Structure 1
Amino acid sequence: MHELGIVFHIIDSIEEVGRQNKLRRVSTVTLELGEVSGVVHTYLEDCWHWAAARSQLLNGSRLAIEALPAVTLCEDCGSTYATVEHGKTCPFCQSPRTHLVSGNEINIKEIEAC
């Protein structure tokens, strides 16, 4: 379960920002989570609750997740398309020369302090 490692990294980052900004408590952390990031939302949320409870800054905080759609670019025709729906083959020209341009990210979007 790599979700726990991801949560530890996120919490470490937020605690550093908290120290720099003299935050006392965080109420909500909003993450942008790519559709093909390989992260299981429910596991991430479970890990968040467990790990955040051990942080003075984050104890009781809420994790909000915003899904980012996976988008692939076709190198031959220049079209972009929904990755999950069509996979690695371009639905417009049938080219296999494609690459993912978004949808595998895990970003901290917003930290709400109280």
Structure 2
Amino acid sequence: MHELGVVFHVIKTVEEAAKENRLTEIEAVTLQIGEVSGVVESYLRNCWKWAVEKRSEILKDSALVVEQIPAVTYCEDCEKTYPTVEHGKICPFCGSEHTYLQQGNEFLIKEISGC
């Protein structure tokens, strides 16, 4: 489970941003997670709950908001995009294997709400 390591990294990043912006409390952290990023949201939420209670005073009462970024693949041959999870690497329009993941592998801190 790499979600705990991910959570520790997010906590460190958020605490640094809070310090730079003189925030005393973080109310919510919004993360954007790609559909095929390999991060399991339920594990992430469990790790978040444990880590902020045990490891971070400024984040202890914060909410975790997760927005999923859908996985989209681009076909270089027919120049169309399609849902990656549904169709995989093979383009459903032309059958080409000349495709690449256009979005859906991201893991971003979108927003930090605090006071």
What TM-score bracket applies, with the shorter chain setting the length? over 0.9
Structure 1 residue 2 corresponds to structure 2 residue 2: yes
Match of 1:24 in 2: 24
TM-score (norm: length of structure 2): 0.96
Percent of paired sites with the same residue: 58
TM-score (norm: length of structure 1): 0.97
* Equivalent AA in structure 2 for residue 88 of structure 1: K
Q: Where do residues 1-114 of structure 1 align in structure 2 (5 Å cutoff)? A: 1-53=1-53, 54-114=55-115
CA-to-partner distance for each residue in 1:34-62, whole Å, 9 max, x for gaps?
00011111100000011111201101111
- Is there any run of 5+ residues in structure 2 with no aligned partner, and where? none
* Equivalent AA in structure 2 for residue 30 of structure 1: T
* Equivalent AA in structure 2 for residue 80 of structure 1: T
Aligned length: 114
- Is there any run of 5+ residues in structure 1 with no aligned partner, and where? none
Write the distance in 2 (CA, Å) between the matches of 1:28 and 1:36.
24
Write the distance in 2 (CA, Å) between the matches of 1:107 and 1:52.
18
* Equivalent AA in structure 2 for residue 52 of structure 1: V
SS of match in other structure, 1:28:
strand
